Structure 1
Amino acid sequence: MTDKIDLTKTLDSYRAKRGEFRIVEIPARRYLMIDGHGDPNTSPAYAEALAALYPVAYKLKFASKRTLDRDYVVPPLEGLWTAEDLDAFTTARDKSQWDWTMMLLVPDWIEADLVDGAIAQVAAKSPPARLTDVRLESLDEGCCVQTLHVGSFDDEGPVLDRMHHEFIPSQGLRMSGTHHEIYLSDPRRTAPERLRTILRQPVMRD
């Protein structure tokens, strides 16, 4: 039996400490992705997105174990978040303004044909409503600043404000890409004050 790989323990990009802003270089990686808009707490599109992503991710995991003899833990949910006004993230926290792309990392040894096969398997039996919106796409973030937030998602604002307006300018950097969150905890099973979330912002030199 092969060892089960946990990418959160083997990839440096999943390393972050509470209260510490870290500059890290993130190589191009591939994800299962699906897009949407609106408050993730109330938008039906958000629930539908997760209902499409996870079956594909688990079919892919089982296919990797069966055909490649490489088993792994399905990586944590990640999200790219955008809004016309960045204050929607830091001060106003107006979630109705948010556009998002929810993602699950695909290990680098998996080829596109295996992903296509996993999607076809899910489609063959009770396909989720948004299955056809799931895509495999590469994300190349490059230089980023990240930190670990412990607590409610609604308490991220002050941390992001310090990242955006204090740490990043102090390092001679400026924001250059999309706000990225990595959800290390399952909010269905974890108290809000104990949620662990990596907050990441792509940057570039001024």
Structure 2
Amino acid sequence: MPDKVDLKRTLDAYAAKRGEVRLLDVPPTRYLMVDGHGDPNASPAFAQAIEALYPVAYKAKFASKKELGRDYVVMPLEGLWTADDPASFTTRRDKSAWDWTLMVMTPDWVDDALVESAIAAAGAKDAPARLDDVRLETLAEGRCVQTLHVGSFDDEGPVLARIHDEFIPANGLRMTGRHHEIYLSDFRKVAPERLRTILRQPVEPA
């Protein structure tokens, strides 16, 4: 039996500590993705995106193990977030204004053909509503700032303000790209005060 690889334990991009903001370089990474807009708590499309991503992610994992002899732990849900006004994330928290892309990281040895087969297998019976929206794409973020937030998503504002308004300008940087969250906890099962979320912001020299 092949050893099962847990990439979130081996990749530096998934390392973060509470209270520590750090700079890192994130290599180009492949993800299964689905796009959407609006309040994640109120939009059916948000739940439907998750329901489409994970069947494909698991079909790809099983195919990798069977066909390639390479087994791995399916990675946690991640999200890219944007809004016309950055204050929608910090002081105003206007979730209705958010655009989002939900993602599951896919190992680089899982190629396009295997993912296409995984999508077809996920749709063979009781296909998820948004299965046709699932795509495989490479995200190149480069230099980033990140930290670990522990607690409710609604309590992220002060942490993001510290990153956006203090750390980034103090280091001669400016924001570029989309706000990125990595959900180390399953928010459907874990109490809000115990949620562990990596907060990441791509940056470039100011």
- Paired residue secondary structure (2:39): coil
- TM-score using structure 2 length: 0.99
- Paired residue secondary structure (1:110): coil
- Paired residue secondary structure (2:100): strand
CA distance in 1, matches of 2:116, 2:159: 39
**How big is the shift at 1:190?**
1.1
What is the RMSD of the two structures over their aligned residues, measured on CA atoms? 0.6
Q: Which residue of 2 aligns with 1:2?
A: 2
Q: Which residue of 1 aligns with 2:195?
A: 195
Q: How does 1:87-98 map to 2 (within 5 A)?
A: 87-98=87-98
Q: Which residue of 1 aligns with 2:81?
A: 81
CA distance in 2, matches of 1:168, 1:78: 22
Q: Which residue of 1 aligns with 2:49?
A: 49
**How big is the shift at 1:67?**
0.4
**Structure 1 runs of 4+ with >6 Å offset:** none
**How big is the shift at 1:125?**
1.2
How many residue pairs were aligned?
Answer: 206
**How big is the shift at 1:151?**
0.4
CA distance in 1, matches of 2:188, 2:51: 15
**How big is the shift at 1:2?**
1.1
- Paired residue secondary structure (1:177): coil
Does 2:149 correspond to 1:154? no
CA distance in 2, matches of 1:101, 1:169: 26
CA distance in 1, matches of 2:188, 2:34: 21
**How big is the shift at 1:93?**
0.6
- TM-score using structure 1 length: 0.99
- Cα deviation per residue 1:144-179 (whole Å; 9 max; x = unaligned)? 000000000000000000000000000000001100
Q: Which residue of 2 aligns with 1:36?
A: 36
CA distance in 2, matches of 1:158, 1:16: 17
* Structure 1: unaligned runs, 5 residues or longer: none
Q: Percent of pairs identical after alignment?
A: 70
CA distance in 2, matches of 1:74, 1:84: 32
Does 2:98 correspond to 1:104? no
Amino acid at match of 2:197: T
Q: Which residue of 1 aligns with 2:68?
A: 68
- Cα deviation per residue 1:1-27 (whole Å; 9 max; x = unaligned)? 111111110100000111111100001
Does 2:139 correspond to 1:142? no
CA distance in 1, matches of 2:122, 2:188: 24
Does 2:153 correspond to 1:122? no
**How big is the shift at 1:187?**
1.2
**How big is the shift at 1:99?**
0.5
* Structure 2: unaligned runs, 5 residues or longer: none
**How big is the shift at 1:109?**
1.0
Q: Which residue of 2 aligns with 1:164?
A: 164
CA distance in 2, matches of 1:191, 1:128: 27
Q: Which residue of 2 aligns with 1:181?
A: 181
Amino acid at match of 1:165: D
